[in-house]
Amino acid sequence: MIQRNSILNVIDNSGAKKIYCIKVLNGYKKRYGSVGDILVVSIKSIRLKKKKTLKIKKGDVCTALLLRTKSFLNNIKNEKISFFSNSAILLNNRKKLIGTRIFGALPKNLRYTRFFKLLSLCSGFL
């Protein structure tokens, strides 16, 4: 469960390292976000090696898709899955991916969302 003021890791190669949640979208007065929700975030830190060739800067406000949470997630077969950290990937204004790679495995629940391209970019499923 992610809410306002949560700090998340970025698991794609867009260049950001840590992001800060400003608002959870997908509903009226929605308080908590779960896997598959869209967030409005601010970029808190970036990767120093890619500093010259980045499309984003520190302090930019953009949208992100929440992919991993520490709280339990019910799987299709009623198995509970949890991750070690809260993670997201960055999206542009048209809800397209900024990065071209996703590091690590993703839950299978993302098959039933509009972000079907993620499944071909990740390394595995849980």
Q: Residue 110: which of 39, 36, 38 has the closest Cα?
A: 36
Q: Which pLDDT score, from 0 to 100, does residue 76 have?
A: 67
pLDDT of 24 above 90: yes
Specify whether the CB–CB gap between 8 and 69 falls below 8 A: no
Over residues 31-71, the pLDDT tens digits come to: 898 888 899 999 999 888 766 677 888 999 999 999 889 98
What pLDDT band is residue 7 in, cutting at 50, 70 and 90? very high
What pLDDT band is residue 20 in, cutting at 50, 70 and 90? very high
Q: Which CATH class is domain 7-125?
A: mainly beta
What's the CA gap between 120 and 101, in Å, rounded? 10
Q: Which pLDDT score, from 0 to 100, does residue 51 have?
A: 65
H/E stretch holding 115: none
Q: Which pLDDT score, from 0 to 100, does residue 50 have?
A: 63
Distances from the Cα of 7 to the Cαs of 2, 4, 87, 92, in angstroms? 9, 9, 9, 19
Q: Residue 6: which of 90, 72, 88 has the closest Cα?
A: 88
What's the CA gap between 50 and 35, in Å, rounded? 28
Q: Which pLDDT score, from 0 to 100, does residue 23 have?
A: 93
Over residues 77-124, the pLDDT tens digits come to: 777 878 899 999 999 888 888 888 888 888 877 777 777 778 778 777
Strands 80-81, 73-74: parallel, antiparallel or unpaired by DSSP? antiparallel
Please report, for the chain, the start and end positions of each structural domain, with discontinuous segments joined by +.
Answer: 7-125
